[in-house]
Amino acid sequence: MNDRDTSELIDRYNKWRTIYGYADELAPNEPDWEDGRLYFRSGYPNPDWSAFIVEATEDGLYKVAHASTERREYPVESSRAIFSRFEDAGKYIIYEVADLLRVARQLEPLDRKWRAAGLDPRVDKVIVSEKQAKYELRENRSAFFLAYSGGVQPYNHILPLSYEQLDAALLEGFPEITASLGDTEPQ
């Protein structure tokens, strides 16, 4: 994870924390580092907090995990996906956090829309094993993520999108918030 990419993700995440405020919803915690991993927590340090976590792997990839303390004293972690590019891991975090806000505001989640659409035509799904599939961007095979092979992972749609395009899709249905954003767009 380089400083520029990390800063961009944190800026974009903080933009969504601001959007939570405009929507009169409790914003997730500020991102923080712990043991070389970048945490995006919600509800911490209260009981039942959860988090998305990004960490670099030894082979130059980026693992995204989800942690939860719901009904337990210590967090349990589950792997969500392993991305070849840090930007895509970041877009996944934004997608998850923003889609939770869409649900809270009773808007159709992007997850549902993308699940119904199936595989993005710009992405190929390659079965790696009984439990794992690789989703590759057709125009750039080095841009991929590994995830559970069952069905089609709806977030395959983030691979061809820029942060700006993802934000635009996530902001659909929020006209009052879009107007309030003004100059909060990260540079």
Query: Residue 178 pLDDT > 70, yes or no?
Result: no
99, amino acid identity: D
**DSSP of 82-131:** EESSHHHHHHHHHHHHHHHHHHHTTPPPHHHHHHHH-S-TTEEEEE-SSS
Structure tokens at 7: 């800063």
Residue 121: asked if its preceding bond is cis (omega within 30°), the reply is no
What's this model's pTM, rounded to 2 decimal places? 0.91
Separation CA 17–CA 184 (nearest Å): 11
Residue 68, Cβ density class (10 Å: 0-12 exposed, 13-18 middle, ≥19 buried): middle
Per the CB < 8 A criterion, the answer to whether 67 and 128 are in contact is no
Separation CA 176–CA 23 (nearest Å): 9
Taking only the tens place, the pLDDT of each residue in 64-113 is: 999 998 776 777 889 999 999 999 999 999 999 999 999 999 999 999 99
Quote the pLDDT of residue 134: 97
Count of residues in the chain:
187
For the chain, list the strands marked E by DSSP.
32-34, 37-42, 50-56, 62-68, 76-83, 123-127, 132-137, 140-148
Summarize the confidence of residues 120-140 as an average pLDDT: 96
Please report how the helices 3-22 and 86-104 are oriented relative to each other, as an axis angle in degrees rounded to 10: 10
